[in-house]
Amino acid sequence: MATVPSDDVPELARGIHDMGGLPGGAVDRHEHAVTLWEKRVDALLVLLTRKGVFSVDELRNAIERLGAEAYTSLSYYERWTASIAWNLMQRGVIQADELGKRMAEIEAEGRQ
């Protein structure tokens, strides 16, 4: 099976996440302090995958399905959060209205 070089794939045929073969920009090699909420998201993912609720591949798949606007505007861990929520809703672990209600409560309390 022949493959098409990345340069020859029309931009619309690529997912927003697919940057293979495209020119890259400068790489920021400085570490940033990991925030508490980022640590919590990471821990939540570890727990969910170890318990077999969903796999890392399913996390990646949901991230890759984000629309271009969401993908480019969300941070790395915000993408994880969106994917975790989507996967949990797909499995019936949580309902969208339940999630929205809890998010509103947390926002009203001024917590993150």
pLDDT of residue 2: 42
CATH topology of domain 33-109: Cyclin A; domain 1 (1.10.472)
User: Can you say whether residue 23 is alpha, beta or left, with left for phi > 0 and alpha for psi between -120 and 50 degrees?
Assistant: beta
> Domain residue spans in the chain?
33-109
pTM (2 d.p.): 0.74
* Confidence at residue 17, expressed as pLDDT on a 0 to 100 scale: 66
How high is the pLDDT of residue 16? 66
Which two tokens mark 19? Answer: 């940057």
* pLDDT at position 4: 41
For residues 73-102, one letter each, b for 16 or more C-beta atoms within 10 angstroms of the residue's C-beta and e for the rest, the string is eeeebebbbbbbbbbbeeeeeeeeeeeeee
Pick the closest to residue 85 from 52, 48, 57 (CA basis). 48
pLDDT of residue 48: 97
> Averaged in consecutive runs of 10 residues, what is the pLDDT profile of the chain (112 residues)?
47 61 79 92 96 95 90 92 96 94 89 60
